[in-house]
Amino acid sequence: MVKFIAISSMLAYGINTGWLIWQLHKRTMSRTSLLFAWLAAMLHTLYIGLLCQQQNGFSFSVLSVASLNILGVVLVLLLTAISKPVEKLGLVLFPLAAIILGLDAILDPLPHLLPVHTGAMAVHILTSMVAFSLLMIAALQSVLLAIQNNQLKRHPPTRFILLLPSLQTMEKLLFQMITTGVLALTVSLGTGFLFLHDLFAQHLAHKTVLSLLAWAIFCAILAGRQRYGWRGRVAVNWILAGFLLLLLGYFGSKFVLEQILI
């Protein structure tokens, strides 16, 4: 039953990806462009909920955390798309969500349950997910912005570029997401230190250092934008560098601990 729900969610992600491609071909975006993505996200949520029930808690294995995080990214995208023109990012996110969900369901990793749950830990986990989701969407948005800027300057704009909002709108949305993501990351780091009694004994030193470096880079981006008007390739390069550090902090150290140092 649980794997059937996972497969259904993957199919819904795939259908919505195809629907977005078809709408881009027709040069139109309707209100139903993310209908199947909502269905996929609900099924994805149900899958994780049933899995938690079976395991008597959420498993913090690499694939399970990746599945939960990509669900968070998809939900943030869907909620943002209600008022902002970000639905085209689903062309990357929906197939990625389907792949990660499929790996989690097929490989069926051994559960890694946390023995203690506290209020600080719950806030830390929630804000970590929100921060990662917003900053991942911001990273994808920055790549899209760079492509749009390059196309408009050097080449006749393609059909896809013509369907995007203006550069000013894209940049404004990008830095709004970064600002919100940095706030969530700040809370995540702050609450994380509340229950880290021995940083090295818990093998979290690398994750903490990388996350702090990512936080510093994103803060520098916001400061540079405010003071020096950073934009274009400079901003994109720093955004991608910050997200890469965050990605390594969230998943790199966990992968090494679970798959290499076991």
For residues 60 and 159, membership in a common domain is answered with no
Is 181 in contact with 138 (CB distance < 8 Å)?
yes
Type of residue at 58: F
Q: How far apart are CA 238 and CA 28, in angstroms?
A: 33
How many domains are contained in the chain? 2
For residues 185 and 66, membership in a common domain is answered with no
Residues 6 or more apart whose CB falls under 8 angstroms from that of 13 comprise: 36, 37, 40, 94, 95, 97, 98, 101
Listed residues 62, 96, 115: the one ending a domain: 115
pLDDT at 205: 66
For residues 140 and 255, membership in a common domain is answered with yes
Listed residues 98, 115, 132: the one ending a domain: 115
For residues 177 and 102, membership in a common domain is answered with no
For residues 132 and 254, membership in a common domain is answered with yes
**Domain span at residue 189?**
116-262
For residues 33 and 58, membership in a common domain is answered with yes
For residues 127 and 254, membership in a common domain is answered with yes
The values of phi and psi at residue 39, to 5°, are: -60, -45
Listed residues 65, 92, 115: the one ending a domain: 115
For residues 250 and 162, membership in a common domain is answered with yes
Strand, helix or coil for residue 86: coil
Residue 192 burial (C-beta neighbours within 10 Å; 0-12, 13-18, 19+): buried
For residues 95 and 148, membership in a common domain is answered with no
pTM (two decimals)? 0.79
Cα–Cα nearest to 136, from 193, 174, 104:
174
For residues 216 and 144, membership in a common domain is answered with yes
What DSSP character marks residue 59?
Answer: B
Q: How confident is the prediction along the chain (262 residues), in pLDDT tens digits per residue? A: 888 999 999 999 999 999 888 887 776 766 678 999 999 999 999 999 888 888 776 666 777 878 888 998 999 899 988 888 888 888 889 999 999 999 888 876 555 555 555 566 777 778 888 898 899 999 998 988 888 888 777 667 666 666 677 778 888 888 989 999 999 999 988 887 776 654 444 556 677 788 899 999 999 999 988 888 777 788 888 999 999 999 888 776 555 444 444 4
Cα–Cα nearest to 60, from 113, 137, 132:
113
Looking at 143-251, which runs of residues are DSSP E strands?
A: none
For residues 100 and 127, membership in a common domain is answered with no
Q: How far is CA 116 from CA 28, 202, 205, in A?
A: 50, 14, 20
Is 100 in contact with 77 (CB distance < 8 Å)?
no
For residues 111 and 121, membership in a common domain is answered with no
